[in-house]
Amino acid sequence: MEKNRLLKQYFGHSAFREGQEELIDNLVKGNDVMGIMPTGAGKSVCYQIPALLLEGTAIVISPLISLMKDQVNSLTEAGISAAFLNSSLAQWEYYDVLKQAEQGRYKILYVAPERLGTENFIEFAKSVRISLVIVDEAHCVSQWGQDFRPSYLKIADFINALPKRPVVGAFTATATKQVRDDIINILQLKKPFVVTTGFDRKNLYFEVRKPKDKTAELLKLMERYKNQSGIVYCISRKSVEEVCQRLCEEGYDATRYHAGLSDNERRINQEDFIFDRKRIMVATNAFGMGIDKSNVSFVIHYNMPKNIESYYQEAGRAGRDGAPAECVLLYAKRDVRSNEFLIDQTENSRLDEEQAEKIKELDRIRLKQMTFYSTTSDCLRQFMLKYFGERAPDHCGNCSNCNAGYEMVDVTVEAQKIVSCVYRLEQRNRHVRASTIVEILRGSRSSRMATNGFDTLSTFGIMKESNTSAIRRIVDFLIRENYLAEIEEEIRVVNLTEKSRSVIKPAAPIKMKVPIIEEKPKEEKLQPVNDSLMDKLKQLRLKIANSERVPAYVIFTDAALMDMCRKLPKTKAEFLGISGVGETKLNKYGEKFLAAIKQWEDEQ
């Protein structure tokens, strides 16, 4: 069939991934669609192939300049005519692209949402045949999403203003049920065909560490990721500067990205990372949305992000080519307080006071779930998948909790002491932080214990033989399981719940998973290919990329090079069988890579 031929010719794949074919078929038939697919699942193919099959130009609405540049680079390299319109273009370049688009030069035109309301773009859109309107990163349209962008609210008005309504598709990697419903309603999708392919990225290893010294832990991880490309996310500009400087001092090729840098420096630093001139990007969450760099082998969160949606999206920038990759979160309790401060300081002039407070409250609920993820002893993958509404097994075998080694421990007595302490405080009409409860139970001799009368409580010092972290782990467990609740007052305080009573007179023992060992060394990944051949192919790829002034992964992904190393193709027909090799790339690069492989074999 035509769609299968296009998949191989332009994208180098012999079979569609889950959900792709159904979405393509529905778009071609004229049905609106909504695709919820994890990063690396191939969302772009779902609308790029229909754009090739249908008459006219497909308009793809995208939020970030970097995303458009990456997509257009990849399409052009594959032999597909595409362009973008955004603020990075000079005025003459903008009008030149618009003029050529009017002449039908491009099959796919990427557009920033802010451009939809401009007079010249509306005139253009009304004068040409538009095959599709695709809304990428569609969660940005929802005020309940983690990355709301008011400019997305104008998309439906733009579509309705067209002489003939085109087929509309919405795509996102992250969306809870509420956000999905919001996307369908706000974009006014007509009985959309909806595909949710699942959020599980099986090639990603998830890990949470709770180090006393984050910098030392980061440097230890860097030793683990020698010669690999990765991203380190930080919560603030200050942290980005400090972490980047330290990595550079230790001899690592690192660069930085945050909103405090000039546009030009951010552009240069981003290109250094994409073109592999710098191996490590240290950044705030301002970096990465839509970045199509396929050879990111690790993503480290130096600080806990404020919600699971953001974490999933940012961590998902690792392993986009399907190769094994690692996602590590360095957790500390102060990260929670930092995120609470950021939520409280958030202002949005486009919302009234009541709406703004509702969004802040939802942000606080999301932060609580992110904190639970960071402190749970259950399977990390299962926790994340359940959050997005998917069923998952209790043990994935590819996260730090599953691999660390845990045992079920009876904590009934300890739980009774903790709940009793909260009860005694409530009798005095006092509500305190979790950390203060731990101090009371351990019998802290700090002056504020006596000042507040906490040292006169019957529960004062009844757990003095236990260490602080052990007590806090049980407190966190009781909150996660709703035996206690954290309530936002002037500070976050711990209260009793309806379930608290069952702790004092339990029907069965209260058991909690406790690590046997805090960290089990992870087995080194076996090298699936010969290192010397892989290095030779990477050097050839880099030489071609530099001459064409495109990122190396645009020529071939690491996964494609690995496939070459495994299959050792000798003919053009065999080379066409490599994953990621289409007819265009076969004709452009086939002979050079076949020659390099033959030369390596002759030298063995």
Looking at residue 359, its pLDDT comes to 79
Looking at residue 253, its pLDDT comes to 94
The 3-class secondary structure across 112-136, one letter per residue, is CHHHHHCHHHHHHHHHCCEEEEEEC
Q: Which tens digits make up the pLDDT trace of 496-508?
A: 999 999 998 888 8
Domains of the chain: residue spans and CATH = 2-196 (3.40.50.300), 204-405 (3.40.50.300), 407-515 (1.10.10.10), 531-603 (1.10.150.80)
**In this prediction, what percent of the chain has a pLDDT beyond 70?**
95
Nearest alpha-carbon partner for 425 in 454, 450, 448, 461: 454
Average pLDDT, stretch 462-469? 91
Structure tokens at 49: 């192939």
Q: Token pair 């990390």 is at which residue?
A: 380
Q: Within 10 A of 543 (CB to CB), how many other CB atoms are there?
A: 13
Q: Token pair 């920038």 is at which residue?
A: 317
More confident residue, 127 or 293: 127
Q: Which tens digits make up the pLDDT trace of 322-372?
A: 888 999 999 998 999 899 888 888 776 666 777 778 778 888 888 999 999
**Range scoring the smallest mean pLDDT among 137-151, 301-315, 490-504, 566-580:** 137-151
Structural contact between residues 366 and 358, judged by C-beta atoms closer than 8 angstroms: no
pLDDT greater than 50 at residue 521: no
Average pLDDT, stretch 519-523? 44
pLDDT greater than 60 at residue 138: yes
Looking at residue 186, its pLDDT comes to 94
Q: Within 10 A of 570 (CB to CB), how many other CB atoms are there?
A: 12
The answer to pTM > 0.75 is no
The 3-class secondary structure across 479-544, one letter per residue, is HHCCCEEEEECCCEEEEECHHHHHHHCCCCCCEEEEECCCCCCCCCCCCCCCHHHHHHHHHHHHHH
Average pLDDT, stretch 260-266? 89
CA 569 – CA 217 distance, rounded (Å): 42
Structure tokens at 258: 């945050």
Looking at residue 48, its pLDDT comes to 95
Average pLDDT, stretch 214-236? 92
Average pLDDT, stretch 304-314? 91
**Range scoring the smallest mean pLDDT among 142-146, 168-172, 471-475:** 142-146
